[in-house]
Amino acid sequence: MLSKDRRGKRLFIVSFLVPPLLLYGIFVVSPYAQAFQIAGTNWGGLSPDFEFVGLDNFQRLLGDNYFWNALKHNGLLLLLLPVATIVLGLFFASMISVGGRRDRAGVHGVRGAGVYRIVYFFPQVLSVAIIGVLWKEMYAPKSGLINGALRAVGLDSWAQPWLGDPRFAFWCVALVLLWSNVGFYVVLFSAAMQSIPRDIYEAALLDGANRVTTLVRVTVPLLWDTIQVAWVYLAILAIDGFAVVQIITEGGPGFSSDVVGLRLYDTAFKDAQFGYASAIGVAMFFLTLTVAAMFLRVTRRDRVEL
């Protein structure tokens, strides 16, 4: 039999675990489970009447050109956004942490590193809605800051209706996603670099290694676990991308910047096809899990001990 102390300890632990787990189950797990159920129906979202259609929604998904067009854009983001964000994040973090000149105090960051860290992190204090509206105004063809700056330096021919041209709309959105996320990973990688002994960097410099070699040969292997986590989070962002796209371009012009998250939203709330939208959500769920699992599997390596 358990002693009174052990029973009391278990009861104390359970009393703290049950309420948050219950809330998590109701507000997180339950909607996921309901999405799987709704994906097998033709529910319109408002009427209580619906019919089970089995896998019909998923069969329809395979032949939906709008879905595949949106998925293509998510695929491009998946290829470009994590790589560009991590490369820039590592470069800036390296300059802030160990990019300064070596002196008697050892290896340190560039002068004004604290200010740079604040500047890079600044987009993180803004909501996605503010970022979207801000950049939408910057891309405005007549009153926008970008075209205004181009005209101010005599490059009038470079001014474009950025968000109104199918050639540029997607890349404009991708640039906003990059700008709004690099700062977080600069701070993340900077914090991780603080755990690397400065003696390692000093030894690399004494051996004649330049900054790029030190970053690739020393910093990246020692931060590999952090880079893996960063890539997974960025992959999830790339597969979603809904908020920024919806605010800046609404998927246009001509679906040239559409993404799967926005396709789900429009299908549910504009076309009133919640069953089909749920099927899109289920596809996104498995796609996200597959991408994360594959990357963690491919990039698995022995941990470097300091």
Q: The domain that contains 193 carries what CATH number? A: 1.10.3720.10
- How large is the angle between the packed helices 169-193 and 224-240, nearest 10 degrees? 160
Q: Structurally, how many domains does the chain consist of? A: 1
Residue 54 lies in a domain: no
**Single-letter residue type at 258:** D
Which residue range forms the structural domain that includes residue 138? 61-298
User: pLDDT > 90: what percent of the chain?
Assistant: 58
Based on the number of CB atoms within 10 Å of its own CB, is 194 exposed (0-12), middle (13-18) or buried (19 or more)?
Answer: exposed
Residue 176 lies in a domain: yes
- Collect contacts of 256-259 with beta carbons under 8 A, ≥24 apart: 256/166, 256/167, 256/169, 256/170, 257/73, 257/169, 257/170, 257/172, 257/173, 258/66, 258/69, 258/70, 258/73, 259/70, 259/73, 259/74, 259/77
pLDDT digit string, tens, across residues 133-175: 999 999 999 889 999 999 999 999 999 999 999 999 999 999 9
The pLDDT of residue 304: 57
The pLDDT of residue 14: 79
Residue 6 lies in a domain: no
Q: Using an 8 Å Cβ cutoff, are 186 and 120 in contact?
A: yes
202 or 255, greater pLDDT: 255
Segment 177-201 shows an average pLDDT of: 88
Residue 2 lies in a domain: no
Segment 31-59 shows an average pLDDT of: 90
The pLDDT of residue 105: 47
Residue 21 lies in a domain: no
Confidence check: pLDDT of 85 > 90: yes
Q: Using an 8 Å Cβ cutoff, are 249 and 165 in contact?
A: no
The pLDDT of residue 163: 95
Residue 101 — pLDDT band, cuts 50, 70, 90? low
Residue 23 lies in a domain: no
Residue 109 lies in a domain: yes
pLDDT digit string, tens, across residues 209-265: 777 888 888 888 888 989 999 999 999 999 988 999 999 999 989 999 999 999 999
Alpha-carbon gap, residue 172 to 144, rounded angstroms: 13
Average pLDDT over the chain, rounded to whole? 88
Residue 292 lies in a domain: yes
pTM above 0.85, yes or no: yes
